[in-house]
Amino acid sequence: MSPVRLNGSTSGYSELSAPAVAGDQAFSLPSTGGTLDRLNRAGNILQVVNVTYNTSASNSTSTYADTGLTASITPTSATSKVLVTVHQAGLGKSTGNAYMGIKLMRGSTDLILFEAEAGYNNSSSPNSVGTASCTYLDSPSTTASVTYKTQFKSINNAALVTVQSSASASTITLMEVAA
């Protein structure tokens, strides 16, 4: 059996070899929350949080309202980045010449408006859009729990717009990236 080689971060290596004695040998690794490499080397993914949400929400005003899609992460370092990936599903409008805006937020801070005209078809007929998505690299600069969520509104403040219609599943994934 070939040995397993673990390379050092700058040089050198360690090897794990099969024992020279007959019989079974056990090698145990500590529990590390889903990864073996917990070092804060730039680019390492330190933790992942994923949430799926499929309860329909609607809005007929130009005031932003929560979609219900939310996730929280507690960074292990204040220098870490958080890579946020959102797939907001089941988008549509019911009537009127309406369309929706969708934004990503960290707590009460706007991060990005990732959809500005979902559902627009220059018509009063219903329109199902499908999914709007975004990927955003954030620098929360904290080791306290951070909550990310999406909000949506009816741009023309008139007709009903929806997210997660027909139990469509929206997802949000948060990945802590060592900086």
Neighbours of 132 (CB within 10 A): 22
Of 84, 64, 176, 66, nearest in space to 133 by CA: 84
**CATH code of the domain containing 49:** 2.60.120.760
Asked if the structure places residue 139 within a domain, the reply is: yes
Dist CA 12 CA 28 (whole Å): 23
Q: Give how many domains the chain has, as a whole number.
A: 1
Task: Return the beta strands (E) in 44-169 as ranges.
Answer: 45-53, 57-59, 65-73, 81-93, 100-106, 109-118, 127-138, 146-154, 161-163
Dist CA 68 CA 170 (whole Å): 9
Asked if the structure places residue 26 within a domain, the reply is: no
Asked if the structure places residue 31 within a domain, the reply is: no
Hey, which of 115-119, 124-128, 143-147, 153-157 has the most confident mean pLDDT?
A: 143-147
Asked if the structure places residue 33 within a domain, the reply is: no
Alpha-carbon torsion angle 116, 117, 119, 125, nearest 10: 140
Which pLDDT score, from 0 to 100, does residue 20 have? 66
pTM more than 0.85: no
> What's the pLDDT tens digit per position in 2-31?
677 767 667 776 666 666 666 655 555 555
Asked if the structure places residue 54 within a domain, the reply is: yes
Domain with 100, as residue range(s), is: 40-177
> What's the pLDDT tens digit per position in 132-156?
999 999 999 999 999 999 999 998 7
Asked if the structure places residue 104 within a domain, the reply is: yes
